[in-house]
Amino acid sequence: MIVLSHFLGQRHRERATGEPYESGMPVTGSARVRLTARFYLVALCFVIFDLEAVFIFAWAVSAREVGWAGYIEVLVFIAILAAALVYLWRLGALDWGRSARRYNGTEVNEKLAA
């Protein structure tokens, strides 16, 4: 079947056939864009905090069944998340400015990579 379709199939040799289609927009630049490590660190932080939101939603669904013990546990959980967010904020992991902030004499990226 593959060999038969090769011989009987249509051939398109137009110039536009080999070009990538980007929703009707002309292609500009390269698809191979280098992103800094800071981009991936911020993306990782957002993924982690979104995952924690799923855990809080699961707690909210079962709030009546878990009672006060579950309420205290989720408060501790949220406090730990808030402390992590404050730590990342103070460290400068959420800063997107041109100038890299320094933290205790080391660059922010070096501190986060460790």
Confidence of residue 97 (pLDDT cuts 50, 70, 90): low
Q: What is the pLDDT of residue 93?
A: 77
Beta strands in the chain (DSSP E): 102-103, 106-107
Q: What's the total number of domains in the chain?
A: 1
Specify which of 1-10, 73-82, 98-107 reaches the highest per-range mean pLDDT: 73-82
List the CATH number of the domain containing 74: 1.20.58
Write down the mean pLDDT value for the chain.
79
Pick 3 or 19 by higher pLDDT: 3
Give the residue numbers spanning the domain of 25.
2-113
Per-residue model confidence (pLDDT) at position 98: 56
Whole-model pTM over 0.95: no
DSSP string computed for 2-15: HHHHHHHS-----G
